[in-house]
Amino acid sequence: MPEAFGARLSAAVARYGPLCVGIDPHASLLAAWGLPDDVSGLERFAATTVEAMAGQVAVVKPQSAFFERHGAAGVAVLERTIRDARDAGLLVLLDVKRGDIGSTAQAYADAYLDAASPMQADAVTVSPYLGFGSLVPFLETAERNGGGVFVLALTSNPEGPEVQHARVGERSVAGVVLDHLRSRNGSTTPQGSYGAVVGATVGDLTEDVAINGPLLVPGLGAQGGTADDLRRLFGHVWDHVVPASSRGVLAAGPDVAALRAAAAATLDELR
């Protein structure tokens, strides 16, 4: 069996620090880098980010949508980006937020988590809102291949609470999702491979996020989240927190040295 994602993530964070840098080729960022909003610009953007982050951070998080919007050629760039980042020693968390049932869920899992796939990432993001049981193909495929799964739990978008804070008996929907993850991770050391996505700008935590698994915390930097917010919210589970920043780091590009300096400065704040 390949080494579990939770253990690999813990080792990478111990070596490089907890920061996850998004690879989010927004049209506005491409323009800011002086790149065209086409496949050539996309390819240059992604390759530069991988070069800058290799040996600098533990995790990169390509946002699939910004590649998919360029069609098949954009997806080909995403495939190369995943491969190049992993070859460079980075853990790749592919932000796809997939969620489906049965054979379709299994097909998504095979595409992104199976070792035979050319798009295999180290972990993916998924949505549990077809029921947590619908995620079993992702969880089982991840386990077989040493991968990880990050499940949306408490997101900071204003629309999120109408679903995530809805009640299931005495529990909120988000609480039920976190309970499932806690059960799946059990007492695995140093941590389980099944994580939750909890926004840095959720305000006050209303649920127990101690799931013995990683917590992907987007929103650091340009979206308004600060290192102080993270310490206040997640200080009791700090060893499991993986803060994510995209524009906060990427705005320093396209110069590789400047990107590395921006990542280093963010890591210093977190430490």
Residue 53 DSSP SS3? helix
- Number of Cβ within 10 Å of residue 41's Cβ equals 19
Domains within the chain, CATH numbers bracketed: 5-266 (3.20.20.70)
pLDDT tens for each residue of 76-127: 999 999 999 999 999 999 999 999 999 999 999 999 999 999 999 999 999 9
| Total Cβ atoms within 10 A of residue 211 | 27
- Which DSSP category does 157 fall into? S
Q: What is the arithmetic mean of pLDDT over 131-150?
A: 98
The answer to whether residue 97 is catalytic is: yes
* Predicted confidence (pLDDT) per residue in 168-188, tens digit: 889 999 999 999 999 999 999
- Strand 194-198 to 215-218 pairing: parallel
What residue spans of the chain are helical by DSSP H? 5-16, 27-32, 39-53, 64-68, 71-87, 102-113, 136-145, 161-164, 173-185, 227-234, 247-250, 256-270
Choosing from 97, 144, 165, 247, which is the catalytic residue?
97
Paired strand residues for 149: 124, 194
User: Could you tell me the pTM of the whole model?
Assistant: 0.96
Of 50-59, 141-150, 229-238, 250-259, where does mean pLDDT reach its minimum? 229-238
Burial level of 164, CB count in 10 A (0-12/13-18/19+)? buried
Residue 8's SS3 state is helix
Highest mean pLDDT among 154-158, 159-163, 261-265: 261-265
The position carrying tokens 């704040």 is 269
pLDDT band (50, 70, 90) for residue 221: low
Task: In whole angstroms, give the CA distance from residue 262 to residue 271.
Answer: 14
For residue 239 the two structure tokens come to 């060893």
225, pLDDT greater than 90 = no
Instruction: Judge whether 145 and 114 are in contact, CB under 8 Å.
Output: yes
- Output the CA angle 163-168-171, nearest 5 degrees: 95
Q: What is the mean pLDDT of the chain?
A: 95
